[in-house]
Structure 1
Amino acid sequence: MNEPLSTLEAARVDDDVAHHLHPNIVRVEMLSNWIVTGILCTVLAVVVTSVIIKWDLGFAGRMALALPAGVFALFLALFSHYWPAIEYRCRTYRINAGGIEIQRGVLWKETLYVPRSRVQHTDVNQGPIERRFGLAHLIIFTAGTIGASVRLAGLGHDDALRIRDFLVASESGDAV
């Protein structure tokens, strides 16, 4: 696989080469996962503590409640830390003169292809965490009803703008 577009010398967006997302997406997803994990573990700790305080469960009862909660919290922490890097290796995009192909999925592989002729409009958005890491996500709206929009998260902001400009640039023909 090749590097993200922004690190390439080539000026062409439609090079028909599979590109990985920007490497910062791993850190962004890890941070987002840790935030969610922290909230879930806090709620879990409050619930387990409340149950232990409210009912006299004895030592065995407390362990029967606290041990699975601790294992679950450990699983969430490990998942939050390692999953983004695993997922990063399985997400690519390829742009050619005809459109954009997006491949994603670790366990269930998915390949999407959006022809340029079906692109209605696009949006480039950044959340606060993405902005901090120089990332954006590109949303491609198509001329369809089912799956009428495709989201490609984890692009460098400049790459997202270049891809957007390429996809919406007028062509000599119209598919409609």
Structure 2
Amino acid sequence: MNQTIHEGPGPQSNDPVESAAEPDPLTPEQLAALWEEEAPPPAGGLSNLISSLFATALGGAGMALAAGLGLGTPAAPGPGLWPFVMSLAIVVFGAVQIVVGRHGGDGEKFSKLSWLTAAGFATLIGLVLLMPVIGFEIPSLLLCLVWMKLLGGETWRAAVLYSLLVVAGFYAIFILALGTTIPHLF
């Protein structure tokens, strides 16, 4: 009878199939080293500065657009108050990152995969533009499909199923339960 001898920490087994199928788990230090080897190169100070300036400018544009919607008061907030607050937070974090992040840090260097973020943003803009015209159901379904299949790598079956569930859930919450005025088909 064949017996394997288990060396090192962990449970011991005399079953050769069980021993071969269950390798010893990696320690946190080994995992950190493995992730560091696989990580993309750091971006560096110039890339961090450019991305921080872009985020700050985008936040500033958001503040201007939100102010155009009307801010109202804290007691009676206008439609632009929440987008204004969020845009202000982006400006503040971008400005802090300009000062703190110029030394490089852990930011990743831009690569071909960085364009996936741009694709995700473009599809989100498409959702915003199409929603007033044809309601939220179709654009939301398309957005979920694109994000899950093309950006997330899900199977078509999973992407379709999850997208239908997400849109149905949003419909149930925002249209049926809360009665919001989001443009919708049904």
Instruction: With the length of structure 2 as denominator, give the TM-score of the two structures.
Output: 0.26
RCO higher in structure (CA 8 A, sep ≥6): 1
Which one has the largest radius of gyration? 2
- Give the structure with the higher percent strand: 1
